[in-house]
Structure 1
Amino acid sequence: MITAWPAATAAAILAFGSAGAFAWGNQGHQVIASVAAENLSAPAKRSLHNLLAAAGPDATVESLAIWPDTNKSPATARWHYVNIDRAGACHYVPARDCKDGQCVVEAVTRQMAVLSSAAPAADRARSLAYVLHLVADAHQPLHAGWSDDRGGNQFQLQAFGRGTNLHALWDTGLIEHWNDAGSLKSAVSAASRRPTLPASATPAQWVEESCRLVATPGFYPDAHRLPADYATRWQPVMVERMGLAAARLSAILEAALAGPDAAAAR
């Protein structure tokens, strides 16, 4: 167990269940992390293996990827999203949208800095968990949605025969009702190899991309009821966002874990 982490961290890392809906759901986070790890070079994979060992004897990229959701606290809850003013045309303004640096954009930047540093392995392993998770969060459109409805949490609708909200639909509903013949991981893996946007974009650009999807006509269902063709239209977009998250996550991990600074730190 990593003594620098909160008590019972080792057990929490392995707890895949959760009571609430999280960005992409557990399955989505695990798929993104797994695809990103598989795309790493051999040196980066070795460094990743060493950090997983520091996280605990049974830690995996999939278990670390959901750890930040199963261990949210008042101090970290705002790290998972950024709410953007609807009048801001999806332009991220830190002073307005990320007060005191408490949002996904700045949290990713801080955790990337620790992961790439010569910090102790336990600290870098904890930052690895946040990087695995928060990069994915930033690519879920409603984790960069409008502030006036809390990223779709307050937009109620009927979907798949039950009441829900738009945020939960994108967190888990579209994944649970995956209607493609192939596996979700295969689709995300293929999308990660043909990213539709530059892998070099910054976290601020990631959330602006997500916000622009939220602003697209038809993203919010009319009459608060899911149209019959909603999944057909938006599931491919979901897969593109997940694939892009995996590609960008892989690039970040490659730079942090296979570069000369990381090698010196190990």
Structure 2
Amino acid sequence: MPAAFFRVATSAAVLLVPLIAQAWGAAGHRLVADIAYQSLPTSTRTKVDSLLGVDPGATLPSISTWADDVRSPSTAAWHYVNFARGSGCHFDEGTNCPGGQCVVGAIENQLEILASSRPASERFKALKWVVHLVADAHQPLHAGFADDKGGNLLQVRAFGRGSNLHAVWDGGMIKNWPGGLGALREHLMEAGDAPQDALPPRRWVEESCRIASYSEFYPEGRFITEHYLNRWGRPMASRLRIAADRLARVLQDALP
């Protein structure tokens, strides 16, 4: 990555960009859904389109943020999983996801509904959950540490204003990608297909947790510097691409 990869992010215009903690942010979720849809074989895409027909005009990207729009106390825990710092990022259902109330349990439950013979309206709702939550599981701070609420409690200085580390990863680095969202999408498409492995969702969150465990993941002095953005820009993009490919994989498996 060039040394000045994110220098554009310090321009006066970018200082006005708000940093809002909301999963990957709308832009990230739409990117994941868009690339996943483009990766689907025709047979699976036809079945996805059939379910999208429950809401005329809906697309995979357009439904990707629905789960944030309807977030409630009963579903808030579905968007993340907490690990204890120093736990080695080992997922234990009883400890990390009691009663299935975490992103792993929610993905598994909604995939069961999607693959079932239930009415199309119920399966469409499950599709909306799956598209969103698969992306959430690949954001490192949605599988972060309970003691700082996945970076939400870590105040930082980023892009000329106060923010928190979770918000920087959710949307700050995406919105400030050099050249904009179009350039980021092109970068993700050029990255080629990531291995569509058969790892279960619990392994996805362990991967995310291990990224958040790197000592340099937490910015020195709580400043999001050019060095930090250069170091973590491509890993952030990689998680988006891997999320897209795994989303395509689970949709193929659920809609064979």
TM-score normalised by the chain length of structure 2: 0.89
Indicate the residue corresponding to 1:112 in structure 2: 111
Deviation string for 1:225-250 (max 9, x for gaps)?
11221111111001110110001000
State how far apart, in whole Å, the 2-side matches of 1:199 and 1:190 are: 19
Q: Which moved more, 1:119-128 or 1:218-227?
A: 218-227
Counterpart residue number, 2:99: 100
**One-letter amino acid matched to 2:250:** I
1:39 equivalent in structure 2? 39
In structure 1, the gaps of 5 or more residues are 1-18, 260-266
Question: Counterparts in 2 of 1:238-249, with a 5 A limit?
Answer: 238-249=236-247
Give distance in 2, aligned partners of 1:59 and 1:103: 27
Please give the secondary structure, in 1, of the residue aligned with 2:177.
Answer: coil
1:104-155 CA-to-partner distances (Å, cap 9, x unmatched) read 0000000011111111100000000000000000000000000100000000
Q: Say whether 1:155 aligns with 2:151.
A: no
Q: Is the 8 A contact 2:20 2:170 kept in 1?
A: no
Q: CA deviation at 1:20?
A: 4.8
Partner of 1:52: 52
Q: What is the SS of the residue equivalent to 2:225?
A: coil
Asked if structure 2 preserves the Cα contact closer than 8 Å seen for 1:31 and 1:185, the reply is yes
User: What is residue 193 of structure 1 aligned with on the other side?
Assistant: 193
Deviations 1:148-194 (A, max 9, x none): 00000000010110000000000010011102686111222233513
Q: Cα 1:199–1:190, aligned 2, differ >3 Å: closer, same or farther? A: farther
Q: For the residues of structure 2 that align with 1:71 and 1:103, how far apart are their CA atoms?
A: 16
TM-score by length of 1: 0.86
Equivalent residue, structure 2, for 1:131: 130
Label 1:64 to 1:192 Cα distance change in 2 as closer, same or farther (>3 A). Answer: farther
User: Partners in 2 of 1:148 and 1:21 — Cα distance?
Assistant: 17
Q: Which amino acid is the alignment partner of residue 161 of structure 2?
A: R
SS at match of 1:226: coil
Report the AA paired with residue 33 of structure 2. A
User: Which residue in 1 is equivalent to 2:7?
Assistant: none
- Find the aligned partners of 2:120 and 2:253 in 1 and give their Cα distance: 17
- Provide the secondary structure at the position in 1 that maps to 2:216: coil
**C-alpha RMSD of the superposition:** 1.7
**How far off its partner does 1:94 sit?**
1.4
Tell me what 2:16 maps to: none
Structure 1 vs Structure 2: percent identity of aligned residues?
A: 44
Q: Which has the higher contact order (CA 8 A, sep 6+)?
A: 2
Rounded Cα–Cα distance in structure 2 between residues aligned with 1:108 and 1:165: 27
Which residue pairs with 2:26 in the alignment? 26
Structure 2 Cα separation of the partners of residues 192 and 206 of structure 1: 19
Count of aligned pairs between the two proteins: 238
Change (3 A) 1:64 1:75: same
Q: What SS does structure 2 have at the residue aligned with 1:21?
A: coil
DSSP 3-state at the match of 1:63: helix
Q: How far has the Cα of 1:73 moved from its partner?
A: 1.0
C-alpha distance in 2 between matches for 1:228 and 1:240:
19
Shift of 1:57: 1.2
CA contact (8 A) 1:34 1:61 kept: yes
Residue 68 of structure 1: aligned partner = 67
Letter in 2 for 1:233: R
* Structure 2 segments unaligned to the other structure (5+ residues): 1-18
The alpha-carbon distance between structure 1 residues 248 and 41, as it changes in their structure 2 partners (threshold 3 A), is same
**SS at structure 2 position matched to 1:218:** helix
Asked if the contact 2:20–2:167 (Cα under 8 Å) also holds between the matched residues in 1, the reply is no
